[in-house]
Structure 1
Amino acid sequence: MGVWLVDSDVLARSRFAVSPFTETVAAMLVLRGGQAVPGQLTDVAGLRAAFRRRLADDPVAAAFVQAATVPRWLADFLCRPPHENDQDFADELARVRRTPAETLIADLSAGQGGREPPGLRVPDLPERIADVLTWVWEHAVRPGWSRRRAAFEADIVARTRSLSTGGWAAAVNGMRSGLRWLGDGQLQINSYAYPPRDLTAATLLFIPASTRNGWVGWNPPHRYSVIYPCTGLLVPRETAAPAALARLLGPGRAAVLAALSAPMSTTHLVAVTGYGLGSVGNHLKVLLDAGLVRRRRSGRSVLYYRTGLGDGLAGEKR
């Protein structure tokens, strides 16, 4: 099985991150023909048709997409972890633009058994690939990026809570298929018979994305990443508060408390409960004062989550 060796220093440096580039790659896989997760794209059929037209007009782009998205494999340059100073999609994309064409072709050849894919020998290959990724970002990801970012940040808060209460095993196990914390500094990343990879002196990132299974990435020797599915928060959920809770707290506050089975921002709560922003804010203030919820900042959002007392009142066992 594939195992990464991570010592205590690697774990201390490990962190969760949000990557618009990673989400763009996940969207491209769906446009290529993969199965979308709930809430990932607003118009899968329409976007796929537009993407096919885009590729039909650009044979180099079509050759790139075909070579880069082989089943159960992604080109290495699409999986490289983001840097600490990356602020947006353009920052991550800039690394693709700076990658020499020969390196890109070598990466793409790896998925073809070492054979160079036809149609990619053009002098401006990095720009042509960057243009395809920009198209996916602009048409499929950027219009709903604020919603996605809020969902990812909420997932990170939930994972961080699991880490603080149950350690790495609680935070990692079940994150994606094949990923398990084995203990003794061993992180199983998949079931393939690869030799162990020593991550000493490296930074390990965990990146949520709207994907069914995820993947791993690296830029050795210093940066590695695990991309894992974040699907549950991408679609507004029905939140029915128990009748007794509604009688105790009032229907509005009960609905907000019931919705917070996972961390959410006020904007997300508005979408889920149907109450106005002012009403949600007032309900949250009362719940905060009563010690039923807490809040913390995650990136650009302030996320609210239930305390143990709030879980108990909402009838949820932890």
Structure 2
Amino acid sequence: MPEQSCGFRKASCHVEWIFAPDDVARIRFAFSPIWELVASLRTLRDPARHSLHLPWLRAVRPRLAGLDLSELFALVPQRGYLVDFVTPTPDTPMPDFAAELERVRRTPPDRAAAEAGWVAGADPRVIERFRADPAAGVARVADTLQRYWETAFADFWPRVHALLEGEVMRRSRQLAAGGARELFADLHPNVSWRGDRLAVVRNWSYSAPLGGDGLVLVPTAFWWPDTAAVVEPYQPMLVYPANGVGTLWAASPPPAPGALAALIGRTRAQILTALADPSTTTALARRMELTPGAVSQHLTVLAGGGLVTRHRLGREVVYRRTPVGDSLVCAS
């Protein structure tokens, strides 16, 4: 929904969710590759504000020549409201970029057009073009997100994934041990627990019961140092900076472009990178635009080298990277 300005009372504005007695049990954690991807658009345009990501920025800037991001920049401005349809609330604890991107593609055109109209400060010609044919606009945006992911983010996702996964595990234990009061006590200075409600300082106002929908807490690396809130008509979501973001690029430099491909071959490197999230042969084939037979052959080689492992879940076989595979992708 669009932000409703508080004018000169900006400091007093907040988003507030009111909890019924059983709503705490509906708190869940998740993280989102597409949220990180969209957040990184602001990093590209305002590196001084997100200076801890400069190692990533230096690595990806040369890759972006020829990739037109103007429509994404218009819909995701440096400040203020960005269209919600490009950051769907995670609906699974096992994030998958392809699945999230498909949810973006399924955005109703009228919803996308309305949200584009709420964006302030964007190039009006770009917004007008999008709203004139929102179905085509959604398709273009999804295609650009796909290219941007493959160009600037897929290589780096395993490292971000590891940071966010660790944060989810730690916070889940904290919630189980100490309840909501302890969880929100140190989540972020903008966040406070007030008896039966959670308040988040924002530059717009909103207050409503959760109404049984639950609240999804989403740690982030690229939205640092800010929080973000998503409300109706979407699943309520609070985005907050994960602990340890400052060390994300400190352990070693980002992976050199093409290094993994030079070692094991481009297609196998792409498959190994895609296995940041466990996947089946069919799903990988769809994402890589290869035949299932070709993907199966590459997975056999990767498994023989100890880089992936396979597990049967019902009728499907799911592949995931081994620690050795992780170390190669992360170039740690």
- Which TM-score band (shorter chain)? 0.5 to 0.7
Counterpart Cα distance in 1 of 2:27 and 2:96: 21
| Aligned residue among 91, 97, 106 for 2:105 | 97
Q: What pairs with 1:134-283 in structure 2 (closer than 5 Å)?
A: 134-183=146-195, 185-192=196-203, 194-210=205-221, 211-212=223-224, 213-218=226-231, 220=233, 223-230=235-242, 231-236=245-250
What is the TM-score of this pair, normalised by structure 2?
A: 0.61
Question: In 2 relative to 1, CA 162–219 (structure 1 residues): closer, same or farther, beyond 3 Å?
Answer: same
Q: 1:36 is matched with which residue?
A: 50
The superposition leaves residues 85-130 of structure 1 with CA deviations (integer Å, 9 ceiling, x where unpaired) of 8751011111111113332121011123898823323452111101
Question: In 2 relative to 1, CA 9–37 (structure 1 residues): closer, same or farther, beyond 3 Å?
Answer: farther
Question: Which AA in structure 1 matches 2:214?
Answer: T
Question: In 2 relative to 1, CA 31–151 (structure 1 residues): closer, same or farther, beyond 3 Å?
Answer: same
Q: 2:137 is matched with which residue?
A: 125
Counterpart Cα distance in 1 of 2:121 and 2:157: 36
Question: In 2 relative to 1, CA 67–21 (structure 1 residues): closer, same or farther, beyond 3 Å?
Answer: closer
The superposition leaves residues 5-36 of structure 1 with CA deviations (integer Å, 9 ceiling, x where unpaired) of 12232210111112111111122221233533
Counterpart Cα distance in 1 of 2:141 and 2:204: 32
| Aligned residue among 21, 33, 39 for 1:20 | 33
Question: Which AA in structure 2 matches 1:78?
Answer: V
The root-mean-square deviation of aligned C-alpha atoms, in Å, is 3.2
Question: In 2 relative to 1, CA 194–237 (structure 1 residues): closer, same or farther, beyond 3 Å?
Answer: same
How far the C-alpha of 1:50 sits from its partner, in A, is: 4.6
Counterpart Cα distance in 2 of 1:301 and 1:162: 28
Report percent identity of matched pairs.
26
The superposition leaves residues 223-256 of structure 1 with CA deviations (integer Å, 9 ceiling, x where unpaired) of 2111111214524469xxxxxxxxxxxxxxxxxx
3-state SS of 2:146 partner? helix
3-state SS of 1:196 partner? strand
3-state SS of 2:219 partner? strand
What is the TM-score of this pair, normalised by structure 1?
A: 0.64
Q: How many residues align?
A: 234
Counterpart Cα distance in 2 of 1:127 and 1:164: 41
Q: 2:120 is matched with which residue?
A: 112
Counterpart Cα distance in 1 of 2:67 and 2:119: 23
In terms of Rg, which structure is larger? 1
How far the C-alpha of 1:140 sits from its partner, in A, is: 2.5
